[in-house]
Amino acid sequence: MKSVAINGYGTIGKRVADAVSAQDDMKIIGVSKTRPNYEARTAVEEKDYPLYIGIPEREGLFKEAGIEIAGTVEEMIQEADVVVDCTPGNIGPQNLEMYKKAGVKAIYQGGEDHDLTGLSFNAIANYDDSYGADYTRVVSCNTTGLTRTLSTIDPIADIKKVRAVMVRRGSDPSEIKKGPINAIVPNPPTVPSHHGPDVQTVMKGIDVTTMALLVPTTLMHQHNIMVEINNDVETEEIIEALEKRSRVIVVDAEAGLGSTAELMEYAKELGRNRNDLYEIPVWRESINVVGNELFYMQAVHQESDVVPENIDAIRALLEMESDNEKSIAKTNKAMGIL
Amino acid sequence: MKSVAINGYGTIGKRVADAVSAQDDMKIIGVSKTRPNYEARTAVEEKDYPLYIGIPEREGLFKEAGIEIAGTVEEMIQEADVVVDCTPGNIGPQNLEMYKKAGVKAIYQGGEDHDLTGLSFNAIANYDDSYGADYTRVVSCNTTGLTRTLSTIDPIADIKKVRAVMVRRGSDPSEIKKGPINAIVPNPPTVPSHHGPDVQTVMKGIDVTTMALLVPTTLMHQHNIMVEINNDVETEEIIEALEKRSRVIVVDAEAGLGSTAELMEYAKELGRNRNDLYEIPVWRESINVVGNELFYMQAVHQESDVVPENIDAIRALLEMESDNEKSIAKTNKAMGIL
Amino acid sequence: MKSVAINGYGTIGKRVADAVSAQDDMKIIGVSKTRPNYEARTAVEEKDYPLYIGIPEREGLFKEAGIEIAGTVEEMIQEADVVVDCTPGNIGPQNLEMYKKAGVKAIYQGGEDHDLTGLSFNAIANYDDSYGADYTRVVSCNTTGLTRTLSTIDPIADIKKVRAVMVRRGSDPSEIKKGPINAIVPNPPTVPSHHGPDVQTVMKGIDVTTMALLVPTTLMHQHNIMVEINNDVETEEIIEALEKRSRVIVVDAEAGLGSTAELMEYAKELGRNRNDLYEIPVWRESINVVGNELFYMQAVHQESDVVPENIDAIRALLEMESDNEKSIAKTNKAMGIL
Amino acid sequence: MKSVAINGYGTIGKRVADAVSAQDDMKIIGVSKTRPNYEARTAVEEKDYPLYIGIPEREGLFKEAGIEIAGTVEEMIQEADVVVDCTPGNIGPQNLEMYKKAGVKAIYQGGEDHDLTGLSFNAIANYDDSYGADYTRVVSCNTTGLTRTLSTIDPIADIKKVRAVMVRRGSDPSEIKKGPINAIVPNPPTVPSHHGPDVQTVMKGIDVTTMALLVPTTLMHQHNIMVEINNDVETEEIIEALEKRSRVIVVDAEAGLGSTAELMEYAKELGRNRNDLYEIPVWRESINVVGNELFYMQAVHQESDVVPENIDAIRALLEMESDNEKSIAKTNKAMGIL
Ligand SMILES: NC(=O)c1ccc[n+]([C@@H]2O[C@H](COP(=O)([O-])OP(=O)(O)OC[C@H]3O[C@@H](n4cnc5c(N)ncnc54)[C@H](O)[C@@H]3O)[C@@H](O)[C@H]2O)c1
Ligand SMILES: NC(=O)c1ccc[n+]([C@@H]2O[C@H](COP(=O)([O-])OP(=O)(O)OC[C@H]3O[C@@H](n4cnc5c(N)ncnc54)[C@H](O)[C@@H]3O)[C@@H](O)[C@H]2O)c1
Ligand SMILES: NC(=O)c1ccc[n+]([C@@H]2O[C@H](COP(=O)([O-])OP(=O)(O)OC[C@H]3O[C@@H](n4cnc5c(N)ncnc54)[C@H](O)[C@@H]3O)[C@@H](O)[C@H]2O)c1
Ligand SMILES: NC(=O)c1ccc[n+]([C@@H]2O[C@H](COP(=O)([O-])OP(=O)(O)OC[C@H]3O[C@@H](n4cnc5c(N)ncnc54)[C@H](O)[C@@H]3O)[C@@H](O)[C@H]2O)c1
């Protein structure tokens, strides 16, 4: 039973905590917050997670709010075999020193640069690279989405190059201060965006160029993907490969799943924790091989697709399982992932 | 064990079905759909509900889609002690004849006129009115929200009159064809709106006038309520009464719950089925007694607040429990409602 | 011909500049910007306004961008009879010292506190208060909207008290970083909001309490107003009074003007500069006298309703016209206001 | 002076009417409406356009509303040299018979199929094809946008193939009943979308494949374009060509024009009628030649980019000007187009 600490109990952190708790070979020994808000309270009162505070000076605020704390982040990591760092993008780097000092392994998220750890992680594409390592980084939600389907397609289609347009949600559902309310925002306005190089950290050598924008929605990202392929494959073979691949699902617009909103509703029908859709849904109708080109559209539930990846990353770092597909299957089963 | 059929397995119907299944004194014997979409499939494959079809001619479509059907709606209601009719507003009236012929009791939803059944229902305000009746109507999500808090406040404050502005969500989350995208729409543009008279169907004689509008959001309605009161009460007494009342919660904007989006996130932290918030959240900061006036702001999760009311309505119609608070407590416990 | 400087050429400033230019008794001698963006460029190249810079150190940036500058803000105000300060809320106070030193009169906007100038302005309600004064403050867009209709209704209805719910746009159309994208936000979550006291700065002694919230739209605010009145008036009399009052228009939802979006479209049909709707539109269908209560719904084009008020404030401060209705009529005519 | 009738005075029709009025070689002899809404009223009262009714039985409704009508659509077209048909997509075909019977030439919009007229029109790409013809069709807003930039780039880059992703606005600004409010909708969910073949109606033989989706915004469409080219060109050459091309503008995100919302604000600064941006804005930062590939992002003001095209189509059909660039220049000058 390995001990896991979550530093930064926010959108990603709280999901990784629940996913860890769902496994039988690891457990949460603590989660950290910086403010005594409703998430801090429910972590303690609903989830029974020991709560540590990221900014010790704020102890009084937690006391005032009547939220019990177990100690500081520095104390929390002493007890852990691995820390999953889910703090916001700019905080992570300064935490690395603390982890090194404490001699604890650590997993970072996609908000950090690849250079921080020199190692990036996707369970399907490059599990072995992080096996036994001290630090790794689970790539971002968008990169995870691209990697899952591209690494499934490549073995049968032999990808020559990928061109993709990433239509990104403007904010997470509960971020009420971020916009835009009514605009499409090229973001970045330069081409290519950073998503292509990020895919290359887990799929070495792939030729991928991306363009990205923000739109006024909160639910999911959406990707439009155009792939030049070397092999002669049928549309049906691509569909079959995607259907066989776990963590990817092929969905039918025609069956009422024609938008990101209906996909989120579908997650509700599946009874998912927090309404999460861990799988990358690919629209069946969009998959089309024309000559040496393959087109498809997919969506990404930004809040949750990386969550099972973190579980597998824990197993890789702590050498709990050497076969990536075995770890994937174990994680999937515990979380009800298709 | 009473047998319940759900006619119309949509936004409300599927939630009532799950709520019935959570009780120990009633069970689902069938749900109905008109189209073989993903909801039809998950009803059968995830929830194990026998699926009946509302439009018999479409049997072929369900077969084609590989979704097993158990029969027609007419067949379904034969087996039931009570039907919960959750079809869209204009379908209900024509169903009444069918229910009468089959000799089955029925519960309608707020999209129907009070006149259809001559009886309306709210578990706190007028449970007894429907006790043993053949047909009743659970009032709409907005009316349920107003009734819950007003009927809690009235006993201590002695309400003289209520003036309320209902800021309504433009569409349910998965209704992608409804707008507005970027507008505020007085709806109706006439004053008063129908919500006041609707409250009067369950709180006889109350003086209440409402104004209503639509805004571009999907999550929750929001109400701004101004009450003239006869009694001399303190703000604290109102807060206490609301805190004590089940199905109403007092929330702190300051604790990070300052918007409908964060309230929906809170429902996720509570681990609720489908991310539902059955309770009416009232913002603590907004509750303010000034002279003979009481002001407060509340939100309404339109998809779910009426769901436990339907359970209690079943108990009232079938004379399963004569004490409304006992039914409420039983329902709450089974569903994890605060 | 009076000389007017605009300090802060943003949403409000650029509109006041154009409105000043449309008059025959005043002219723009300069406008100021802090960044060399497209507004700075069009101020110079399309509008021919001399451009001064608010932050002298940035001169280089404007040069690089090829935008000609005429000097610094300090230099600009030397030439002016009056400065209209349209900088963001927190900048204004520190500017007052500069204006005093330069001996120039100044008009502030609603983002500042009443206390800064000790004097607030609405052309209909209290023009005379600012006549000949050195400094005044045009009240905010929402307060201007409330004041226009309430000060029209009061003389015939004798207002006893006003209760209003202000449904505010989340951001101005071009503010792409502000949300919410999908939420209703009580703002403030405390009741009453500051809008009531703000109305009292221009309508002394009126009993007005307001509740306010933000919604995901950019176009206009919307107000829901409930007035207790002492006089016995007919709905028709209220409509007539509002129709007669300039800067207020009575619109028909039934004629296709049933939302803020259609009102903005209407401004396009009227050929308005920048698509502005300076008038407060009141929905005819919503106006309803019931007993001693009057209900109505109105909208506010936040970017423009205060613009003609600034013109009248200039005439009041500089003693160019002693009769408020004459100034209003002159301003209206020059700007095509109904 | 040619006589032009506008059948269908809606979003496109009212703009074409104003554009015709701005020319010195053609004039509006009538516009048509089917309902007596605010657009009908302003057509008569603000614009002085003779108003004809599309559905003669509704004459009474217009009389009731006090809107003066000049006759029926059948009467209107008798007087015209050409009709611009701006009715909704499904109405156009049945009108063709009427136009034929009346012996009047006609121009259709992009909502109709190419097959209706067998001829499609873009002023830059294929003006000559429609010269002297009886009927033509101005291609849709999206197709016009693609065609403008691609036909500018092709002569210098020699386009091999085009792959584009069209991120479309969910509804026009005043369409308050259309969604989505919070979703991304692949539309169509099949790939390729119809936009590619539509471009081929005006740029014969071009290899272009498109994917399309809807997002919750009203202002503009946005295009992400990936072009394989045969020639060896520099990014700078592409920029220069686009800058030289009228009806296309190169904009800087860095200068504050980084979104569709800010582009709409820019149109206000330019003092445009109805806030229209007739030009296709291309983001300078996005233009990038990498090897044999060119990437760029552009936006399309769906309500107005086709408007000047209609003017040129009139000149082509009526043989008023044989040189497309002369017609373009004339139209541009009259409308202030860059
Ligand atoms: N939100 C997404 O869609 C998403 C998707 C994939 C990856 N990520 C990445 O995951 C990481 C976390 O993002 P998030 O969206 O969960 O952020 P978040 O803001 O929701 O949560 C961050 C949490 O960290 C806590 N925190 C802040 N400073 C801290 C400190 N000094 N010490 C300890 N805790 C601190 C905050 O209290 C908060 O609870 C980022 O790298 C982000 O890029 C986010
Ligand atoms: N959605 C809300 O927010 C909400 C809240 C409270 C009350 N209500 C009320 O609940 C009722 C149902 O609304 P909803 O939002 O769940 O609607 P919905 O459209 O989500 O679901 C209606 C369901 O009825 C089915 N149906 C349609 N015609 C049928 C027929 N002839 N026979 C059998 N089934 C048929 C449809 O397949 C669909 O599954 C309405 O009266 C509505 O006013 C809705
Ligand atoms: N936007 C509205 O809806 C609205 C409505 C009514 C009143 N107001 C009030 O009008 C005022 C201006 O608001 P706005 O929306 O026009 O703001 P804005 O941000 O659109 O414009 C402010 C302008 O001031 C300039 N500026 C900033 N710092 C400066 C400095 N130190 N010196 C000179 N110029 C500086 C900026 O460059 C910008 O152009 C505020 O008090 C606001 O509360 C705004
Ligand atoms: N709105 C856009 O963004 C856009 C852009 C490019 C092309 N188009 C195309 O332009 C055409 C018109 O679209 P729109 O957006 O202007 O539509 P719209 O709905 O705004 O206007 C259509 C007008 O036609 C009138 N009308 C309806 N039936 C009629 C009839 N039988 N006889 C006469 N008039 C009738 C209506 O009153 C309305 O005023 C369509 O083909 C559309 O595809 C639209």
**In the prediction, which pLDDT does D92 show?**
86
Q: Do B181 and D181 touch (CB under 8 A)?
A: yes
Tokens at A138, concatenated: 């689970």
Q: Do D184 and A215 meet the contact criterion of CB atoms below 8 Å apart? A: yes
State pLDDT tens for residues B94-113: 999 999 999 999 999 999 99
Q: Which ligand is nearest to the Cα of residue D36, counting in written order?
A: 4
Residue A108 CB neighbours (<10 A): 30
For β-strands D208-215 and D159-169, DSSP reports them as parallel
Which of B73, B109, B143, B177 gets mutated to test ligand 2 (max ligand atoms within 8 A of its CB)? B109
Select the residue of C46, C173, C255 nearest D38 (Cβ to Cβ).
Answer: C255
Nearest to A177 among C173, C179, C182 (CB): C179
In chain D, which residue's Cα lies nearest the Cα of C273? D271
* Chain C residues inside the 8 Å CB shell of D259: 176
Compute the distance between CA of residue D302 and CA of residue A175 in angstroms, rounded to an integer: 30
Are B253 and B214 in the same domain? yes
In this structure, are residues C118 and C306 in contact, taking their beta carbons and an 8 Å threshold?
no
The CATH code of the domain that includes C35 is: 3.40.50.720
Q: Which of B86, B123, B314, B133 is nearest to B202 (CA)?
A: B123
- Beta carbons within 8 Å of D186's beta carbon, 6+ residues apart: A222, A253, A258, A259, A283, A285, A286, A297, D211, D212, D213
Measured in degrees and rounded to the nearest 5, phi and psi for residue D280 equal -90, 115
DSSP annotation string for D138-168: EPPHHHHHHHHHHHHHHHHH-EEEEEEEEEE
Residue D169 CA to ligand 4 centre (angstroms): 17
* A170 has binding-site annotation: no
CB-CB under 8 Å, C215 with B215: yes
pLDDT < 50 regions, chain C: none
B288-317 b/e with 16+ CB inside 10 Å = b?
bbeeebbbbbbbbbbbbbbbbbbbbbbbbb
Q: In terms of domains, do A170 and A288 share one?
A: yes
Instruction: Tell me what the mean pLDDT of segment B254-262 comes to.
Output: 98
Cα-to-centroid distance, A149 and ligand 1 (Å): 26
Tell me the CA–centroid distance for residue A301 and ligand 2, in Å: 27
Using CA atoms, how far apart are residues A208 and A139, in angstroms rounded to an integer?
16
Share above pLDDT 70 across residues of chain B, in percent, rounded to a whole number: 100
Q: Are strands C221-229 and C159-169 parallel, antiparallel or unpaired?
A: antiparallel
* Atom number, ligand 3, closest to the C-alpha of residue C14: 16
Question: Which chains reach chain C with 3 or more Cβ–Cβ distances below 8 angstroms?
Answer: A, B, D
- Chain C residues with CB under 8 Å of A180 CB are 176-177, 181
In the prediction, which pLDDT does B89 show? 83
| Strand pairing report for D120-121 and D135-138 | parallel
Residue from B168, B171, B172, B176 whose CB has the most chain D CBs within 10 Å, to mutate = B176
D274 annotated as a binding-site residue: no
- Considering the domain architecture, whether residues B147 and B295 belong to the same structural domain is answered as yes
Tell me the pLDDT band of B173, cut-offs 50, 70 and 90: very high
Instruction: State the chains in contact with B (3 or more Cβ–Cβ pairs under 8 Å).
Output: A, C, D
CA of D92 to the centre of ligand 4 (A): 9
Answer yes or no: is the C-beta of D109 below 6 A from any ligand 4 atom: yes
| Facing A189 at nearest CB: one of D186, D209, D286 | D286
Nearest to A69 by CA among A27, A36, A21: A36
Bridge partners, C296 (sequence order): C225
Residue of minimum CA distance from atom 11 in ligand 1: A86
CA distance to partner chain D, nearest, from residue A337 (Å): 23
Is B91 near ligand 2, meaning CB less than 6 Å away?
yes
CATH classification of the domain holding B276: 3.30.360.10
| Interchain contact, D209 vs A182, CB within 8 Å | no
Instruction: Dump strand ranges (E) for chain A.
Output: 2-7, 26-33, 51-53, 71-72, 82-85, 105-108, 120-121, 135-138, 159-169, 185-186, 208-215, 221-229, 248-251, 280-283, 288-290, 293-300
Distance C9 CA to ligand 3 centre (A): 7
Q: Among all chains, which residue has been given the structure tokens 């691609």?
A: D150
Write out pLDDT tens, residues D168-194.
999 999 999 999 999 999 999 999 999
Nearest CA distance, D185 vs chain A (angstrom): 4
Is D141 annotated to bind a ligand? Reply is yes
Identify whether residues A53 and A132 lie together within a single domain.
Answer: yes
A319 CB burial (10 A radius; 0-12, 13-18, 19+): exposed
Distance CA B17, CA B90 (A): 21
> Is D11 annotated to bind ligand?
yes
Binding-site members of B for NAD(+) are 11-12, 111, 169, 302
Catalytic residue among C119, C141, C203, C307: C141
The pLDDT tens digits of the residues spanning D99-155 come to 999 999 999 999 999 999 999 999 999 999 999 999 999 999 999 999 999 999 999
Relative to the alpha carbon of A168, which ligand is closest?
1
A22 shares its domain with A134: yes
- Which residues of A are tagged catalytic? 141
**Neighbour count for residue D318 (Cβ, 10 Å):** 18
Residues with CB under 6 A from ligand 3: C 7-13, 32-35, 54, 73, 86-89, 91, 109-112, 140-141, 172, 302-303, 306
Q: Is the peptide bond before D36 cis (omega within 30 degrees of 0)?
A: no
Task: Give the number of other CB atoms < 10 A from CB of residue C302.
Answer: 23
**Which pLDDT belongs to residue D332?**
98
pLDDT (tens digit per residue) in C279-302: 999 999 999 999 999 999 999 999
Q: Which residues contact A160 (CB under 8 A, 6 or more apart)?
A: A207, A227, A228, A229, A230, A292
Residue nearest to atom 39 of ligand 2 (CA): B10
Summarize pLDDT for C165-209 with one digit per residue, the tens. Answer: 999 999 999 999 999 999 999 999 999 999 999 999 999 999 999
Do A312 and A331 contact (CB within 8 A), yes or no?
yes
Query: How would you classify residue A247: left for phi > 0, otherwise alpha for psi between -120 and 50, otherwise beta?
Result: left
Q: Which of C173, C179, C185 lies nearest to residue A178, judging by beta carbons?
A: C179
Verify that D150 and D293 share a domain, yes or no. Answer: yes
**Residue B254 domain boundaries:** 141-300
pLDDT score at A138? 98
Distance from residue B109's CA to the centre of ligand 2 (Å) = 9
Annotated binding site of B: 11-12, 111, 140-142, 169, 195-196, 302
> Between chains, do C38 and D255 touch, taking CB under 8 Å as contact?
yes
Binding residues of C for D-glyceraldehyde 3-phosphate: 140-142, 195-196
- Catalytic residue at D86? no
* Protein residue whose Cα sits closest to atom 30 of ligand 1: A54
What's the mean pLDDT in D190-202?
A: 97
Q: Per-residue pLDDT for A103 more than 90?
A: yes
C213 CB neighbours in chain A (<8 A) are none
Residue pLDDT, tens place only, C144-153: 999 999 999 9
* Chain-chain contact of B286 with C220 (C-beta, under 8 angstroms): no
State the Cα–Cα distance between residues D160 and A133, nearest whole angstrom. 46
| Chosen from C166, C181, C259 to mutate, greatest number of chain B CBs within 10 A | C259
At residue D90, the pLDDT reads 80
Contact D179 B183 (CB under 8 A): no
Residue C286 and residue C167: Cα distance in Å, rounded?
16
Mark whether C237 and C146 lie in a shared domain: yes
Domain co-membership, B282 together with B326 = no
Q: How many domains does chain D have?
A: 2
- Nearest alpha-carbon partner for B212 in B231, B186, B251, B239: B186
- Residues C150, C283: one domain? yes
What average pLDDT does chain D have? Answer: 97
Q: In 10 A of CB D174, how many CB atoms?
A: 23
How many A from CA of C12 to the centre of ligand 3? Answer: 6
Q: Sign (positive/negative) of CA torsion D17, D20, D22, D24?
A: negative
> Whose atoms come closest to the Cα of C111: which ligand?
3
pLDDT at A90 over 90: no
> For chain A, what percentages of helix, strand and coil (3-state, to nearest 5) are there?
40, 25, 35
Digit-coded pLDDT (tens) for C297-308: 999 999 999 999
- Do residues C34 and C131 both lie within one domain? yes
- D13 CA to centre of own chain: 11
From B65, B173, B257, residue closest to A264, measured CB to CB: B173
Please tell me the predicted confidence (pLDDT) of residue D255: 97
ipTM of the complex: 0.98
What is d(CA A20, CA A39) in angstroms, rounded to the nearest whole number? 18
Distances (CA, A) of D76 to D7, D32, D50, D51, D92: 9, 8, 9, 9, 16
Instruction: Please tell me whether the peptide bond between B180 and the residue prior to it is cis, using omega within 30 degrees of 0.
Output: yes
Q: Which band of pLDDT confidence, cut at 50, 70 and 90, is reported for residue B92?
A: confident
**Same domain assignment for residues A184 and A225:** yes
State how far residue D149 is from chain A, nearest Cα, in angstroms: 17
Average pLDDT over residues B123-151: 98
Q: Do both C199 and C238 map to the same domain?
A: yes
- pLDDT for residue A89: 83
CA distance D89 to chain A (A): 23
What pLDDT, on the 0 to 100 scale, is given for residue C90? 80
C-alpha B301 to ligand 1 mean position (Å)? 27
The predicted pLDDT at position A274 comes to 96
Q: Do C38 and D266 touch (CB under 8 A)?
A: yes
Residues in chain D with CB shorter than 8 Å from the CB of A211 are 165, 224, 226, 286, 295, 297
> Residue D182: which of B173, B182, B183 has the nearest Cβ?
B173
